[in-house]
Structure 1
């Protein structure tokens, strides 16, 4: 009996030491991102001031309002006018630079807080995270309570899949009742949206939509191949993800323009539905096929080390091996990407609302930086610069009611801006290096933004990231 007690004491001691070690590792990682804490920013608490001499791109229409003043009070736009008489507030001289709403990336995968700084440094002032885990609820809480400077943060719950689509990154549903229970739980815990994924059967899919309506929670749909594509135009589904899924599903792996028209007509007839293309993540397959050294590229220095070690390498190996087996795969992937551009052109011509999303954070698609390439593809597909900018501002903000206070520069909207040197209505490339980013009225100059990038480059938080993912598996699976 004494021996058993001694063994138990040793076991409990070891478990205790393990817990302490885990807490220390996560605590150290959290301390390394303390540069995002608002109290650590020199003017982090200043969110009332007057901007002068700004060329304002309001995004309410295709225009530039020359030499304007913008009055910000407590992080919200009070007034935009040629002359504003206000005393006792700080004045920021925009020096005839261009002020436009911050960009919104509607499809990201966030793995750590370093990535929040990367989004800000690239002018992204709001993100929609679509693979929810417990750590994302903590990020959301810290953003909403003004603990950290970050893009406005919205997150779905875990990816909901059907019983056959097994994987530690999925939440497998087996019955309609289980689906309803999960939705209720996610809403209560603070997840903003429901994310549907592969393999949802008709009965489970319908249960998700039914409960989503009852619980008043929006659905973001990665199309399920177990139901017709037309199922995804239910009013509760606010956006349908990935242009590549047109080809994988309704077009049955063909570049068929006749079948495509049928899908375009579905979108055109469902005015509530937005499409989120994520063209850049698919195009990066082509990049992996033509660049054997892509895993050593500078862009990969900004990826989370756990993703870089596991997902980036796995994706590269998959496509490298595919090319060894069939050299024509490179041309096929390029052809499909070009067809994606044609799809965007046709969606735009049918007046379908396109919202910018990149699928950043997985594969070789770097957080923050990838949005600029995504916007370039929309331009290549035939959208004007103003129409391109709408996808990442007005259109994105209109997708969910909880995001409606963003997307334009007008009274009552949150002060999420970027200040750039040139007119983005003429030159989209100016978005790649904003001189200043304003988030909820807080001003971040280029030196701060550059420091965010430097802190995130080649970060050493592999173990901490793994522990947070293990937490997800224990809580959500």
Structure 2
């Protein structure tokens, strides 16, 4: 018997070693395949000559300006700067805009970091944190790879009755407090609260977050009134759909909506609409299997495309099969989202653009341009829409105060376009050049980032990272 147990033990040890080796090889190969993102010999000091500047400090264009960038920061903006000794970049006839921020994304791999940059996104806020995101953040902060400024929320904290492997169920207030301290110590930038948090646990989490000096990004909890979320240290409330579902209880109550919007303004609370991901429901039901022919689906992480995206597809196509009115209801709700976003903007709510890219069929990098397009469809001007992805995030987070506008002293996160985005907003989707922390990414580099991300083969590496996250959350 002892001899048999010893053999079983040796066998299990051998299998464990083989598994560890296999996982290591998978991750090493994946890292090698994204080595094109490494920051090599480049410069973060130069002058951009004769460029039209869209500063986003107000609705205007400063024509034919020179911008001096030194060590990644904007040091001068003026016509005809004398900088003979500097590297010069010709901006004649082009428009320079602050880099875009997408403040609600789900990042699955390094390829997506390059893809965001290729579409002019220079800041992302990852909203479902896992250990690999902390390692990713470290490499970005240490300037090891080209990537947007990268911030990550913690794992999704919810209550004991809100089941799902993607969520961290919390049994009681003490556990909630402990998780806040744990996630702050591990290096997460925000606490992500979720839909099933009861008041006693939520109270404990908020109190501990204030003590730990870490803010909360709240997916509204259905266990408390919507108005509960207008309190410290919550800084943003996610999803316009939850204004309808949680605050209004699906009722067309204009008085309650006005009161909710006033609470946003009074609390200086940010709101992240994520209209893009909700509209994907309509696209699923409208296109059905034709959706799979869309070439842009090749930019979605292959593991998530098979698991998460497919689940979304199955859910809504099956719902349509027995509920003939669901497609109309979803489209009507989308139209209601547009009206709410317009009303929020007019009232002075701090709208921060977020897409939920990386979830369902919302595509990293591409999503922000859909999102801004919906804001314009809602009735915002191009300037107002662009503020949601530039200036407004810097009003919410001190860590972004050095971004969002083109001014002396600000970080040189910028997008160079062929047309004036205040007139042609869609020009931002195809940048001529992108600057991140002052580093120049030309058209060839941006194209490489897109090509490398397209139909990438990192299925197993993604599953390994996701498995680690679910295990250790």
Deviation of residue 23 (structure 1)?
0.3
Contact 1:59 1:394 in 2 (8 A): yes
Spell out, residue by residue over 1:68-124, the C-alpha distance to the aligned partner (whole angstroms, 9 max, x if none): 111111111111111323343211111220001000000000011111111011100
**Residues 306, 138 of structure 1: alpha-carbon distance in 2 compared, 3 angstrom cutoff:** same
1:92 aligns with 2:89: yes
Deviation of residue 299 (structure 1)?
1.9
1:398 aligns with 2:398: no
Point out the more displaced range, 290-299 or 453-462.
Answer: 290-299
State how 1:157-306 maps to structure 2 within 5 Å: 157-271=154-268, 273-292=269-288, 293-306=290-303
Match of 1:29 in 2: 30
Match of 2:455 in 1: 458
> In the aligned structure 2, how far is the partner of 1:316 from the partner of 1:255?
28
SS at match of 2:396: coil
Match of 1:16 in 2: 17
Contact 1:131 1:159 in 2 (8 A): yes
Match of 1:418 in 2: 415
Deviation of residue 455 (structure 1)?
0.8
Contact 2:107 2:126 in 1 (8 A): yes
TM superposition outliers: structure 1 runs of 4+ over 3 Å: 1-7
> In the aligned structure 2, how far is the partner of 1:316 from the partner of 1:288?
6
Match of 2:340 in 1: 343
1:362 aligns with 2:326: no
Q: Which runs of 5+ in 2 are unaligned?
A: none
1:311 counterpart (305, 308, 311): 308
Spell out, residue by residue over 1:233-291, the C-alpha distance to the aligned partner (whole angstroms, 9 max, x if none): 113111110000011112112333233222122212222x0111000111110111100
> In the aligned structure 2, how far is the partner of 1:399 from the partner of 1:439?
21
> In the aligned structure 2, how far is the partner of 1:207 from the partner of 1:295?
45
Contact 1:323 1:329 in 2 (8 A): yes
> In the aligned structure 2, how far is the partner of 1:9 from the partner of 1:219?
47
> In the aligned structure 1, how far is the partner of 2:235 from the partner of 2:42?
35
Contact 1:118 1:453 in 2 (8 A): yes
1:48 counterpart (45, 48, 57): 45
Contact 1:255 1:339 in 2 (8 A): no
Spell out, residue by residue over 1:139-191, the C-alpha distance to the aligned partner (whole angstroms, 9 max, x if none): 10000001000001000110110111111110111111111111111111111
Spell out, residue by residue over 1:366-400, the C-alpha distance to the aligned partner (whole angstroms, 9 max, x if none): 11101111001111111111111100000012211
Match of 1:155 in 2: 152
Match of 1:38 in 2: 39
**Residues 6, 323 of structure 1: alpha-carbon distance in 2 compared, 3 angstrom cutoff:** closer
Contact 1:295 1:313 in 2 (8 A): no
Spell out, residue by residue over 1:308-340, the C-alpha distance to the aligned partner (whole angstroms, 9 max, x if none): 101111111111111110111111101000000
2:72 counterpart (75, 96, 107): 75
Contact 2:64 2:92 in 1 (8 A): no
Contact 1:180 1:211 in 2 (8 A): yes
Match of 1:132 in 2: 129
SS at match of 1:68: strand
> In the aligned structure 2, how far is the partner of 1:473 from the partner of 1:275?
28
> In the aligned structure 1, how far is the partner of 2:39 from the partner of 2:436?
11
SS at match of 2:247: coil
Deviation of residue 3 (structure 1)?
4.4
> In the aligned structure 2, how far is the partner of 1:158 from the partner of 1:29?
24
1:108 aligns with 2:105: yes
SS at match of 1:398: helix
Match of 1:441 in 2: 438
> In the aligned structure 2, how far is the partner of 1:360 from the partner of 1:125?
15
Contact 2:206 2:232 in 1 (8 A): no
State how 1:314-325 maps to structure 2 within 5 Å: 314-325=311-322
Contact 2:270 2:349 in 1 (8 A): yes
> In the aligned structure 2, how far is the partner of 1:124 from the partner of 1:203?
38
Point out the more displaced range, 144-153 or 83-92.
Answer: 83-92
1:474 aligns with 2:471: yes
Q: Give the TM-score normalised by structure 2.
A: 0.98
Deviation of residue 224 (structure 1)?
0.2
Matched residue pairs, number?
471
> In the aligned structure 2, how far is the partner of 1:427 from the partner of 1:466?
40
Deviation of residue 5 (structure 1)?
3.3
Deviation of residue 212 (structure 1)?
1.0
Match of 1:409 in 2: 406
SS at match of 1:195: strand
